Chain A
Amino acid sequence: EIVLTQSPATLSLSPGERATLSCRASQSVSNYLAWYQQKPGQAPRLLIYDASNRATGIPARFSGSGSGTDFTLTISSLEPEDFAVYYCQQRSNWPRTFGQGTKLEIK
């Protein structure tokens, strides 16, 4: 099973700042990695797939990069609605796995 490790566990930033979230895989997943956003009481929402492709309707301030074992989700300028929990997920191998999440909180 591929283990995804996200860092940091919690990130405290202010609106307007740049956020950088990391996801490291225990073995190469090529570019087969996605990012999701989850707000309290809501289902997750797909943000980025195949490491760098924005899903439908996702604002341009969200971008993804990386390949192999190291990936990054960047939010260029935080909006109030961006404070949430973010998960990465791989589709390279079965079982599909998620990282443990990064909580992005308002500083």
Chain B
Amino acid sequence: QVQLVESGGGVVQPGGSLRLSCAASGFTFSTYGMHWVRQAPGKGLEWVAFIRYDGSNTYYADSVKGRFTVSRDNSKNTLYLQMNSLRAEDTAVYYCAKDRTTVVTGTYFDLWGRGTLVTVSS
């Protein structure tokens, strides 16, 4: 079954850290770039980060650059998002998403997980 399953969300205090995981199955994880996309409650979608299929290159939204780190373990078919120095404005559902193509870097998102909620609050 082709799917992505996020985990690791929860409530954290401002300034705290959290690591999200995304377990992939049903496709050759090691050949696809992967993204994190978030959605604040009642708001639109915001792209957060991308990592190439081999982990050799990453991109970040300005809003998280220097605080968040995306990584992957292809031996475990798992994507990660390490989030440090969390702020109230980071409160959102975080989705991992598979890139549509193996050929071009960071295109569109053709498979999404169900998301994990991160709440930053004291």
Looking at the complex, which of A19-27, A67-75, A90-98 is the stretch in contact with chain B? A90-98
> Which residues of B, 87-122, contact A by the 8 Å Cβ criterion?
95, 100, 106-110, 112-115
Chain A neighbourhood of B114, CB < 8 A: 42-43
Q: Does residue B41 face the partner (Cβ distance < 8 Å to A)?
A: no
Q: Does residue A84 face the partner (Cβ distance < 8 Å to B)?
A: no
In this complex, the interface size class of chain A, counting residues with CB under 8 Å from chain B, is 20 to 34
Q: How far is the CA of A42 from the CA of B113 in the complex (A)?
A: 9
- Chain A 73-107, CB within 8 Å of chain B: the 1/0 string? 00000000000000101010011111111000000
In this complex, the interface size class of chain B, counting residues with CB under 8 Å from chain A, is 20 to 34
Q: In the complex, are the beta carbons of A87 and B62 less than 8 A apart? A: no
Q: Does residue A16 face the partner (Cβ distance < 8 Å to B)?
A: no
Q: Does residue B27 face the partner (Cβ distance < 8 Å to A)?
A: no
Q: In the complex, are the beta carbons of A46 and B109 less than 8 A apart? A: yes
Q: Does residue B11 face the partner (Cβ distance < 8 Å to A)?
A: no
Q: How far is the CA of A94 from the CA of B47 in the complex (A)?
A: 10
Among A55, A96, A101, the residue within 8 A (CB) of B110 is A55
Among B46, B50, B113, the residue within 8 A (CB) of A43 is B113
Q: In the complex, are the beta carbons of B108 and A46 less than 8 A apart? A: yes
Q: Which residue of A lies closest to B95 (CB)?
A: A43
Q: Does residue B26 face the partner (Cβ distance < 8 Å to A)?
A: no
Q: In the complex, are the beta carbons of A34 and B108 less than 8 A apart? A: yes
Q: Which residue of A lies closest to B101 (CB)?
A: A49
Q: In the complex, are the beta carbons of A95 and B62 less than 8 A apart? A: yes
Q: Which residue of A lies closest to B47 (CB)?
A: A96
Q: In the complex, are the beta carbons of A95 and B59 less than 8 A apart? A: yes
Q: In the complex, are the beta carbons of B47 and A98 less than 8 A apart? A: yes
Return the 7 tightest CB-CB contacts between A and B, nearest first: A43-B112, A96-B47, A34-B108, A98-B45, A46-B110, A91-B107, A49-B108
